[in-house]
Amino acid sequence: MLQMTTYGEDADDGDAGRPPLLIVHGLFGSGRNWRAIARRMARLRRVTTVDMRNHGDSPRADSQSYADMADDLAETIGALGGQADVLGHSMGGKAAMVLALSRPQLVRRLLVADIAPVAYAHSQNHLIAAMRGLDLARIGSRSQADEALSASIDSPQLRAFLLQSLDLEARRWRLNLDVLERDMALITGFPEVEGRFDGPSLFLSGKDSDYVRAEHRPRIKALFPNARFAKIPGAGHWLHAERPRAFIAAAEAFFNA
């Protein structure tokens, strides 16, 4: 079972038929990355974040395939009551799509944040190499870790994101770097899937991001016939972190429609 954190357990959702909201993070992330957004959205409903397999405090496993990640999410939704609205970003968005396509009865509404059901050419193994390159026995503070990472990662925002998965006290990464590196082609790819999801879907992207392009729309519409598309101005791939208020407003408008 994935590590779960639930917010707003006492919230009055105003609609007995509205299921909980499940938030699914992306590669190298964890549920804690979504804590501020989950708390804000939990004013009106129950919101649950998860740590995906091989991330955070969830179990370590020997696979990072989307079929296995979708199985994990199905088990989580079963524990939440049997149906959920699902919001997934990047890798989490792909896992959420595979879940909705393979088990549509578990998903009421689906929001996919800045990712498409296609294979991408880029690899993130250079970031794994950077994390592995840190001599954790010599790192005494997060600022030292940040300085060490800066030799191979220019972006302060990206370094801060990765360092959220560093357990300084235990001197280890809260990531199964071996499996993530080995299965990187699966993560950046997208499996051959059958079926389609006819429920309401929103593909929400950052206007400055190129992850969801015009040529992806026919593929999206074939799998998600009721998909709608929207962009958040002034945001890139990390749209929820760069424009959190606009992201929450768009997500709540969609899920509460």
Residues with catalytic annotation?
Answer: 90, 178, 237
Rounded Cα distance, 53 and 30, in Å: 10
Rounded Cα distance, 257 and 254, in Å: 5
Amino acid at 229: F
Rounded Cα distance, 250 and 227, in Å: 15
| Distance in angstroms between the alpha carbons of the first and the last residue of the chain | 31
Give the per-residue SS3 of 132-166. Answer: HCCCHHHCCCHHHHHHHHCCCCCCHHHHHHHHCCE
Q: HSE (CB half, 13 Å, CA atoms) of 69?
A: 30
137-176 CB burial, b ≥16 within 10 A, e <16: eebeeeeebbebbeeebeeeeebebbbebbeeeeeebbbb
Cα–Cα nearest to 66, from 121, 27, 19:
27
> Count of CB atoms within 10 A of residue 104's CB?
15
